[in-house]
Amino acid sequence: MARPLGEATREAYGKALAELGRENPNIVVLDGDLSKSTMTKYFAQEFPDRFFNVGIAEANMVGIAAGLASAGKIAFASSFACFVMCKAFDQMRLAVAYSGNNVKIVGTHGGISIGEDGVSQMGHEDIGLALSLPGFVVMVPADAAETRAAVRAAAEHVGPVYIRVGRPKAPIVYENGCPDFQIGRAITVREGRDVTLIANGLMVAAALDAAEALEQEGISARVLDMHTVRPLDEATIEKAARETGAIVVAEEHLLYTGLASQVAMAVARLHPVPMRFVGLYDYAESGAPDALMRKYGLTADDIAREARELVNMRQKAAV
């Protein structure tokens, strides 16, 4: 049932950036001494004049990116998700969000699936922080193909963008590329009637696996790839709430602030239905990525369990 692994989304990001660099001389890239990990190295190798390694100084990096953007550049700035969002949050607030500068922040090593390096390197809260910045588009692509599409869309969008990508190889969700990708438009990756699984990032593949398992039990689960957390595709969420009557949201992120909270607000306002949430309530720890995902409840089994309970609850109520 496990899907074949493709490139890591950070790898896809790095290659997409180099591709964009060839097409658009206005693109500049900044990194904070992690270009070999964020994969901005591909751009750096091809376009050394347009690449600025600022050293280990994330606040300065985002400030410089804002200055470059205000002078007309499309500035991509990268570091690990936790470092760029946490250390440069004030700069993103004032010099990027409030100023409306055309800066694209790409945080790599998002989530706990980075594994052995442990909590200090993991992005547990990067999406919540990005969502706290008015005007920021926030995206979490599911696999390499979708990452390429998201990076391209980010370059075309005028205004601040945050994209979270991950460290490990990502299961392939889009075998034939992601040609219909649009910011703010969820992709229905599987149709279903009884329950809707809404996910992004690595959790999309997990949700698809969960849907296959549920099918064996006679439960038809719809799966939405909510790659854009803001602007949120409320129409597709409302439709799913009306048509399936139950929603599970899964994300590799603290549940206090992220996709789950955003979807819950939309569902509460537009068409309230029972909901369950799969995500983090605390910091993780060091360990093998798969083992961490199991221990912290971020697997297909966890999603399937929550969906099954929602469907069972409804059946009991109907009796």
Partner 1 sequence: MVTTDVSVEQLERTARKLRRHIVKMLAIAGSGHPGGSLSAIDILTALFLGGIMRYDPKNPRWEERDRFILSKGHAVPALYAVLAEAGFIPEEWLWQLRKIDTPMQGHPSVKDLPAVEASTGSLGQGLSIGLGMALAARLDGRQYRVYVMIGDGESEEGQVWEAAMAASHFRVGNLTAILDYNRYQLDGAIGEIMSIEPIVAKWEAFGWAVREIDGHNMQEILDALHWAKEPREQPSIIIAHTVKGKGVSFMENNNEFHGKAPTQAELEQALAELAD
Let me know: does 86 contact 127? Beta carbons within 8 Å. Answer: no
Least distance to partner 1 from the beta carbon of 158, Å? 14
Q: How far apart are CA 279 and CA 249, in angstroms?
A: 8
Least distance to partner 1 from the beta carbon of 139, Å? 24
Among 1, 4, 49, 180, the residue binding partner 1 under the rule CB under 8 A is 49
By CB under 8 A, tell whether 63 contacts partner 1: yes
Report residue 107 as tokens: 């945080």
By CB under 8 A, tell whether 66 contacts partner 1: yes
On the 0-12 / 13-18 / 19+ scale of CB atoms within 10 A, 22 is: exposed
Q: Which is nearer to partner 1, 94 or 288 (CB)?
A: 94
Q: How far apart are CA 229 and CA 111, in angstroms?
A: 15
Binding positions for partner 1, 73-102, rule CB under 8 A: 73, 75, 90-91, 93-95, 98-100
Least distance to partner 1 from the beta carbon of 24, Å? 13
Cα 86 to Cα 107, 116, 265: the distances in Å are 11, 20, 25
Instruction: Based on the residue annotation, tell me whether 215 is a catalytic residue of this protein.
Output: no
Cis peptide bond N-terminal to 179, omega within 30: no
By CB under 8 A, tell whether 271 contacts partner 1: no
Report residue 112 as tokens: 């706990």
Least distance to partner 1 from the beta carbon of 25, Å? 9
Least distance to partner 1 from the beta carbon of 68, Å? 4
Q: How far apart are CA 154 and CA 218, in angstroms?
A: 40
By CB under 8 A, tell whether 23 contacts partner 1: no
By CB under 8 A, tell whether 152 contacts partner 1: no
What's 133's DSSP letter?
A: S
Among 8, 29, 62, 202, the residue binding partner 1 under the rule CB under 8 A is 62
By CB under 8 A, tell whether 24 contacts partner 1: no
State the Cα angle at 275 between 271 and 278, rounded to 5°.
140
Among 60, 132, 220, 257, the residue binding partner 1 under the rule CB under 8 A is 60
- 3-state secondary structure string, 205-222? HHHHHHHHHHHHCCCCEE
Q: Which is nearer to partner 1, 49 or 282 (CB)?
A: 49
Least distance to partner 1 from the beta carbon of 153, Å? 24
By CB under 8 A, tell whether 20 contacts partner 1: no
Q: Which is nearer to partner 1, 74 or 106 (CB)?
A: 74
By CB under 8 A, tell whether 41 contacts partner 1: no
Q: How far apart are CA 97 and CA 117, in angstroms?
A: 31
Report residue 97 as tokens: 């969000």
User: Which part of the chain contacts partner 1 (CB under 8 A), choosing from 53-61, 151-159, 252-260, 308-316?
Assistant: 53-61
Strands 195-199 and 137-139: unpaired
Q: Which of 7, 11, 58, 146 is catalytic?
A: 58
Binding positions for partner 1, 204-223, rule CB under 8 A: none
Q: How far apart are CA 276 and CA 7, in angstroms?
A: 30
DSSP-assigned beta bridge partners for residue 104: 76, 161
By CB under 8 A, tell whether 191 contacts partner 1: no
By CB under 8 A, tell whether 22 contacts partner 1: no
Residue 187: count other Cβ atoms within 10 Å of its Cβ.
Answer: 21
| Residues in touch with partner 1 (CB under 8 A) | 28, 49-50, 52, 54-55, 57, 59-60, 62-73, 75, 90-91, 93-95, 98-100
Q: Which residues are catalytic?
A: 58
